Structures are given as C-alpha cells and as structure tokens.
Chain A
Amino acid sequence: MNKFIPFITVLAVIIMSSAGCYTVLQHPAVEEYYTQSDYQVACIDCHSDYHEYPYGYFYGYYPDYWWDTPRWGRYYAYPWWWDHYWFDDVRYYHDDDYDGNLSPRSSSGKKVERRSTLSPPYSHGTTTIQRSTGSVSSGSGSGSSTGKKSGDTGQTKTKEETNEQKEDEKKAVRRGGRSR
C-alpha cells in the first residue's frame, strides 16, 4: 500500500486542481455559442479586473529587465498559449485594420509579434503587473466593466451584448494606451 501513496497523492492534487482548487484549467461555460477562442479573447467581457491581473501571469517577482528587455520577459513570463498559432481560430477581438496597440496575439494570421512587451493578449489597457514588486497595479483599464469580480463567470450574455462591449473596449484602448 505504501508504494501507492505517491501515486494517490499526485492523482488527488491533479483532480483537486481540475476541479478549481485554485488553478483553473477549463473555463466555465457561460454562453452556448461561445467557443474556446471566445473564452481566450473576450476576458474583459466578464472579468472587469482583467487588466489588473491577466490570467497567465503569476504572482511573483518581475524584474525590471523583463520589461526593459522584452526577450527576457517573453522567455520567462509569457505563456505560450498567448501566442498565435496557425491552427488557432481566426476570430479575433479586433479588426485587421485596427491601428491601436496590437496585442502579441496578432490578428493578421501571422506569427505573433515576437519582440513585444509582456502585455497579455487582448489587453489594450495599461500594463498589468507592477515592476519589480509582483504586486498588482491598477491600470486605467480599457475594457467594459460588468461589475463582477474576477472569477465570477456565471453571467450569460447575448451575442449583441458581447459585441457592444467589444466596441466599447476598442475605444477605451485608444484612450488608455499602454503604460509603457
């Protein structure tokens, strides 16, 4: 029996995590027409504080040079699933002629902007993680606010509502810009 304790422990932890202990592997379904891509691109529809703490970043130390020299930041802090890959769904949050701050997840269908800063995808507001402290900074934010807290994803939206919020976010991006 002792030989199986490590296996059981590992299995229990994975099960706990997939059930949402803290790490969330799968986004809760909020709208029947939503695809996985929607969950990845329309974060601020439901998460008003997405700009303050975009998922994918970790609470921890972000040295200055991760921001000043983007290759460091990309290597050590930028999740691979924020990149655009050829097999991705080609539905993006903004149009191809969008002239604001492009996120690293490019809408052109090409490989993402490799030397970008650590700005998370579809976050056109201020940079989110405060330098060298790892603490959360409150940005000017550009997205719409649903008044819901992070992780509160139980709200169901119609397509029309969602599109309206996306439009709002585009404008907000132009106003806010990046902090860097």
Chain B
Amino acid sequence: MKIYRFFIPVIALIFIAPLSQAQYIEQVEEITAGNFFGYGARQMAMGGAGMMAVDGAALFYNPANLARIPRIEFNLGLSYQKYEDKSTVRTIRREVDYSSTIPQSEIHSPRFSGFVPQAGTSENSKTNTRLNSAILTIPYPTYRGSLVFGLGVVRTANFDRAFKLYHYDLSGAGSIVAVGEEFQSGGLIQWGAGFGLDISPRVSFGGALYLYTGKHEYDWEYSLDSLDYTYSTESLIEDKYLGWNAKMSLAMRLSPVVSLGFGIETPINLNVEEEYFGGVYDYVEYDVKRPFVLSSGAALNLNYFELVADIDYTDWSQMTYGDNPDMEAYNNDIKTYYRDVIRFRLGGEYVIADWGLSLRAGYFNDPLPIKKQFINDNRWGYSLGLGFLIDEVMTVDLAFVHGTYNRNSDFIYAAEYDTNDEILNSHNLIVDEDITYNRLYITTAYRF
C-alpha cells in the first residue's frame, strides 16, 4: 500500500494548508510488490529455492513437483521475524517541482533559510510469530505415472514492519523537532488448490488456483515541536485484500542427476478495501493488478548432495490500478517508479543419512522492484538450516534467514498548494533506511 507517511497532515502545520491526495510518486508504493516472505523451512534454508523441492510446499513453488510425493502428507509451518529499521535523515532537503515526475536530487530549499538541518538517526524494530503454512497433499493411487492433489495455505507476503523518523532543524532562534513512528502489520494469505501429474515418464505438469486474502494495518504517529507551537497526529489505515490467480508449471528430469522446472503465474487482481481513521473517516476501494511471474529452477543431484537454483522474472512496471479512476491516474507513475527484476536463489543440501540429518545453506538476491535511484543497497541475504527425518514418517525442518537492504525515500516536510489544494511543490527530507531482518522457519511434515 501507499506509504502514508509521505502525505501526513504535518504539512498543514507549517503552511496552514491541508494536504490533499497530491500527485506524489511515493503514493504508488505498494507493500505487496516484491514482497515475498517465504514458506517451507526446507526451501527457505536453501535461499528460498523451491522450484525443485519435493514436499507439500511444491503446491505454491512448483505444483508439478507434487507428482513426486508418494504419500499423504500434512505439512505445518511457523515463522518468526525480527525486523529492524535504522533510519537516517540527510542534512539536505530537496525541493520537488511536481511538473516533473521524479524529484530532482539535492536541491537545497530556500524556504528554510536560517535553519540548518541536522542529521538525525533513530531505530525501530518489530517481532512477530506467525503461522506460515498448512498444506495437505494427497496422492491418488495410480497404475502408471502419478497424480497428486494439494490443498493448503501459506503466508506469502508479510507486512510486519517498523520505522522511526527523527529530524531537527537548528537556528539561532531555536529548533524544530519532528518525530514519527510507524508500525505496520498483517500479511497476504495465499490459499491454494492444485495438482501434479506425470504426463510422460520424465515430465510432470502441475497447476494450481490461488485465492488471496489479507489485511494490512498501518499506524503512523507524528509530532512536531516547532518554535511557537506543537502538533501531533495519528493515522490508522486498514486495507483488506481479496484476489486470485493461477499457476502452471513443469518439472523435467533431463538425466539422472539434472532436473529442471518452469512455471508461469498469472497476474493477480487484488481488490483493496481501504479504511482511513485519522480524524476523519474515509473509505476507498480499488484494484491492484500484479503482473505475470515467470519462474525456473534447476536441481543437481549428486547422491548425498543436492544443489538447487531458482530464477524468476517479474516486470513490476506493468503493475496497474483499476476499478477506481482516481487510482488509475497513478498508473503512469507506476511505470516511472517501478522496474523489472530477476530474483535469484541458490541453495545446497547435504544428507547424513544414518543420522537422519540434512544440512542446508543458501544465498538469495531479491532486488527491490523500485528504480535504482531509490535503492542504496539492494536486497540480499543468506540462509542456514537443518532437517531431521524422524522414524520414517516425519520430518522437522529449521531455517534461519538473514536479509538486508538499504533504500531511500522522501518525506514531505513542507508543501505549497494552489487554490484548489493541489500541491505545487514540496520540501522533502530524504530518509535513508537500513533494514535488516532475521527470520526463523520451522516446518514439520507427517507422511501417512
């Protein structure tokens, strides 16, 4: 969803003018874009490479690999995340002329002459434990080939985030101190029903339908202590999501040691119902259409060792708003703000068979879907994990994932409006966010 901190009412404090739904590029930031939380501890321990993994989570990674599950399986997973955001406000402001689409960089605003912006840093964090997955897999008895059905739910996107802003200006007369604190929670839940089917001895086909539900709760508290007045405000925004899409995929065993997988996921049409509680109540409804996702994966099996790699491609600039003319007006901004990305995941597993133990590690490169000028350091990370095969019917998998990225964004500190309350120009703070997250996944599966 939008990053609401960019159009908070603080601007009204300074210029005594309300901030309308300005045509500001940050408004098209979507929290669901490029937001893959991950599910299945085995896959997440290998960098998130799941295209060629064979367990219930294949229903969501690559349904064709469901065909390789020979027994009825129930799979249950939990996740834990600690999200940390360290923000720094740069010592410059930039003036944005809204006749141009992308803010010009490093233009010092003349409106604050006499005040010297100070670098302010602050930190905020948030921890959450969530149900991550619950999947039932049922192989149909076959005389030749394989037909396996899957039914399940995963937490595909996570909205648990935190942010804090601290900024102050100094002058001979005094200082202006601005403090904001942001908490977000919720997630996008993906319900799936699909199958994997052998269509030749070495080729499997899979298909799945997905239903998406979810909620995003956004809380922003902001206070300003200026020379002769103080101000504080709080905004609560709640978005409810509903949408669906489908996925088709193939899994091929090219040779005894090499397997390939391909998948195509259709666009998701997410209906969003948004409620705003910030002094006045507001309600808006619109659609977000996310683009196709093309995926591929490969596995190299060397007896006790397996190497897997996944690549997928998404052109986020094709994301669009719909079913709401006011939101559709932002579609051009999306093309300017977003880009196409290639995600890459690499993982390995070594099995110590006598102990029933699997050792796993992985690396992932998960680029942010936004243009490079807003990225300081792209998203990447590593993972480690263990898997236990207990008796001959149960597995317990653990994964630790560490990820990091660094991005920048504008915060509207002051603005000017025309007589129609349309924003003419603004004076923005530039905020650098250094974000790290540590996640734990635990998944257990029982095969009947």
Which A residues are closer than 8 A to B by beta carbons? 6-7, 9-10, 13-14, 16-17, 21-27, 39, 55-56, 58-61, 63-65, 68-72, 74-81, 114-115, 132-135, 151
Whether the Cβ atoms of A23 and B198 lie closer than 8 Å is yes
Whether the Cβ atoms of B197 and A17 lie closer than 8 Å is yes
In the complex, the chain B residue whose C-beta lies closest to that of A134 is: B256
Residues of B233-262 whose CB lies within 8 A of A:
246, 248, 253, 256-257, 259
Residues from chain B with a CB closer than 8 A to the CB of A16 are: 199
Residues of B260-305 whose CB lies within 8 A of A:
266, 301, 303-304
Chain B's interface size range is 35 or more
A81 to B70, CA, bound (A): 9
Whether the Cβ atoms of B392 and A71 lie closer than 8 Å is yes
> Number of residue pairs across A and B with beta carbons under 8 Å?
132
- 11 contacts across the A-B interface (CB closer than 8 A): A13-B199, A17-B197, A25-B142, A55-B142, A55-B143, A60-B253, A61-B259, A63-B303, A63-B304, A63-B351, A81-B139
Whether the Cβ atoms of A75 and B205 lie closer than 8 Å is no
Whether the Cβ atoms of B301 and A69 lie closer than 8 Å is no
Which of B90-98, B144-152, B215-223 participates in binding chain A? B144-152
Give the Cβ gap from B386 to chain A, nearest Cβ, in Å.
16
Whether the Cβ atoms of B253 and A74 lie closer than 8 Å is no
B354 CB-CB contact with A under 8 Å:
yes
Whether the Cβ atoms of A58 and B143 lie closer than 8 Å is no
A63 to B304, CA, bound (A): 7
Whether the Cβ atoms of A71 and B391 lie closer than 8 Å is yes
Whether the Cβ atoms of A9 and B207 lie closer than 8 Å is yes
Tell which of A24, A59, A64, A65 touches B143, judged by Cβ atoms closer than 8 Å: A24
Give the Cβ gap from B262 to chain A, nearest Cβ, in Å.
15
Whether the Cβ atoms of A22 and B145 lie closer than 8 Å is yes
Give the Cβ gap from B416 to chain A, nearest Cβ, in Å.
45
Whether the Cβ atoms of B72 and A65 lie closer than 8 Å is no
Whether the Cβ atoms of A132 and B199 lie closer than 8 Å is no
Whether the Cβ atoms of B142 and A24 lie closer than 8 Å is yes
Tell which of B198, B259, B303, B356 touches A71, judged by Cβ atoms closer than 8 Å: B356
B82 CB-CB contact with A under 8 Å:
no
Residues from chain B with a CB closer than 8 A to the CB of A14 are: 147, 195, 197
Tell which of B143, B146, B253 touches A61, judged by Cβ atoms closer than 8 Å: B253
A156 to B140, CA, bound (A): 26
Residues from chain A with a CB closer than 8 A to the CB of B354 are: 69
Knowing A58-B68, A65-B304, A68-B353 touch, does A79 contact B205 (C-beta < 8 A)?
A: no
Whether the Cβ atoms of A79 and B139 lie closer than 8 Å is yes
B8 CB-CB contact with A under 8 Å:
no
Whether the Cβ atoms of B199 and A65 lie closer than 8 Å is no
A69 to B165, CA, bound (A): 56
Residues from chain B with a CB closer than 8 A to the CB of A70 are: 392
Residues from chain B with a CB closer than 8 A to the CB of A79 are: 70-71, 139, 141
Whether the Cβ atoms of B199 and A21 lie closer than 8 Å is yes
B202 CB-CB contact with A under 8 Å:
yes
In the complex, the chain B residue whose C-beta lies closest to that of A80 is: B71
Residues from chain A with a CB closer than 8 A to the CB of B141 are: 25, 79, 81
Whether the Cβ atoms of A115 and B68 lie closer than 8 Å is no
